[in-house]
Structure 1
């Protein structure tokens, strides 16, 4: 395993070929973002001349590389940082809900936490978010539907997540500015 400033790679050798699979630094949520295949230093010239065969490609063990990548220090170091940030966002949403009910501030915080969880590959963002804000998952689903209907969150067909709208971003920015002026 090798690392550079922005990511790390897992290397495999398949016959005359060296396969490098690269992931960015941070939580590993899926397969590599880049794969390079080059001749090994000791590769026979006749193998290199024939090029990369489909057999070489079929033998790539992406699952094994993924398992190693998930254990990489570059992935683990930031996993805790991300979890801490997401927990803080969820807790802020819970506090807003307790203090204000289902307000625009609450919906903006909720969708920010939800999209961040989905973007980082949380396997079940709604139950996790429900635990953080102290509500049932069905309630969180209803609040997310309302957030979509009220223009805080876009829809992504067939998967968790979405994009924050300008409306949600503006509310979050106002909250950030107000928080920085309080001290």
Structure 2
């Protein structure tokens, strides 16, 4: 099976071919697509009953990720945007210093956090904390406050979230905002 540009790792389990896919750039976690299909030369009798849970359980996903990391570029894809993300974080720090934990500060913080998570940054809160000039626990508390106040939605069991319409509206009032706000990818 052919995917769009990116990295594929293929493993075989009996008559099944399992293809794992990552987008271009450094591999920072599991695949974004996983396809299980019969090998072209597999005997029809072995694939007639379909894919079993045993096939999926036997897939060594840790090994698949390790192999992908071995062949993937080592520069994380978000590095190309690091300058913009640093500018956003610096703006958040300026707003925090000037206004305290204001709605504008929280909106810029949420935008930066969302973009860091969407780009695959492994530790976005410590990265933000360093650039905003606060402790990581404080930044976490600020993000929780932003969620409570409806500026940042959540993703079940995952970091990141979507900016609300209210957050986008607030960001429209922030002078010197680098880059586009956009909808994000998550």
Q: TM-score under structure 2 normalisation?
A: 0.71
Larger radius of gyration: 1
**Residue pair 2:113, 2:160 contacting (<8 A) in 1 also:** yes
- Structure 1: which 5+ residue stretches go unaligned? none
Q: How far apart are the structure 1 equivalents of 2:158 and 2:51?
A: 35
- RMSD, aligned CA: 3.4
- Structure 2: which 5+ residue stretches go unaligned? 180-186
User: Equivalent residue of 1:170, what SS?
Assistant: helix
> 1:104 corresponds to which residue?
103
> 1:25 corresponds to which residue?
24
> 1:64 corresponds to which residue?
63
User: Which of the pair is proportionally richer in helix?
Assistant: 1
Q: How far apart are the structure 1 equivalents of 2:55 and 2:156?
A: 35
Q: Could you tell me how far 1:46 is from its partner in structure 2?
A: 4.1
**Residue pair 1:25, 1:75 contacting (<8 A) in 2 also:** no
Q: How far apart are the structure 2 equivalents of 1:33 and 1:43?
A: 26
Deviation digits for residues 110-139 of structure 1, max 9, x if unmatched? Answer: 111122334445443322211111111232
Give the total of aligned pairs: 179
> Is 1:163 the counterpart of 2:162 in the alignment?
yes
Distance 1:129 1:178, change over 3 A: closer
